[in-house]
Structure 1
């Protein structure tokens, strides 16, 4: 490992092989950093934070700080970050609120400048979080989701796998998997480009689109639409559609409604 002479690294911190820590960076006592990581100048890694291998923590980023939650009373809580993540300049990631709880980030994620990931968020794998996105406490972002710049997401909200959220969108309701959120609590078609880029062939995309139309355009209520999908063998035996339905059924905040002011994208 290479530690700049102006860095402050607690002697009890665990630093992996090949890790580089830049000037004026701070690494506190209970931190664990894996192999081949880069902690850039003036970054701070604090609290009970565990970072895996091959991660980059950008200039001025702060990882593991106390939750911004008035109920926090000094409990021992955690941040856990997987492998091959890039956290760019001034990203902030807070640890969990309750004793033993954690904020968790998976593998191969890209988090851009100024993004905030609050206490107890759960971020999957291969997620892209663009500049100045704000995730409140307990937000869940599933694998391969994409959030444009300045997105703001209310606590306990979920963004489903392969979903895309347009920049400057505010969300307080769940975005189902595969969908594109384009306005406050509104979706408009599928994230077709994202699905193609992630290897969904035409047949898979078409089946998901048919399920989307039943949920959003059949004039059935949510329960009726789900029941129809689950009782139709072609849909019930499709793992993509089962995942779609299970996500909607599990929603605590409700799912986004359809945007009525224009034609849906991803419906060709």
Structure 2
């Protein structure tokens, strides 16, 4: 089964302010990067905070900015126990041999048509092996319905549908849960200004309205673009759109990648809201 079809009403409820209106022409060429380097750029934000992956944030950052030691970068990537199994699943299902192929990495973090090759009968057993023993009560029963409902192994699915069932959203700490989920999901923001190593972007936050998740009105947000001038977004400036993981800018996005990220986020919000 493919991804669910959303009605206009669905989209209006979920995404009231998806696209901060551009005032500056921002479509500039975006330098290519290898799959391992792109993985590292998305993984660095939570890794530096100690949330996932090996305790080697400095090495990960160095490899993500320079990217000259691919074997080392691959070894680091395999230690991300949350993300790497999804890459392996996408790789197997799509017939792309390398889990760190740029197409696989992009599909996981942003969403892309590559995910259409992952069948429910592939995703379901993978989720069961990884999460059934960690879930209590009805949590597994609800999660088990997601592959047939159209879920795909994109990062937004893990953040919005798997992560809450592991305890935080059901603990009663709703505000904290929303804050963590919003930081952990891959967000997009249009750059308003640069301030040294920081960027001020217009981004849409995750909200809980009437017991359902949605994206709220755009608001300014201050994020890290560089550390002592080194970073992942080259010379990003006003008008550019960047992807964001936790408080770090991961890469500049072109129209296609932005569309994939927005669409995957919207789909996964709709799926999560069915059983929240």
The normalised TM-score by structure 2 is 0.24
**Structure whose residues are more often helix by fraction:** 2
Greater Cα radius of gyration, structure 1 or 2: 1
The normalised TM-score by structure 1 is 0.24
Higher relative contact order (Cα pairs below 8 Å, separated by 6+ residues): 2
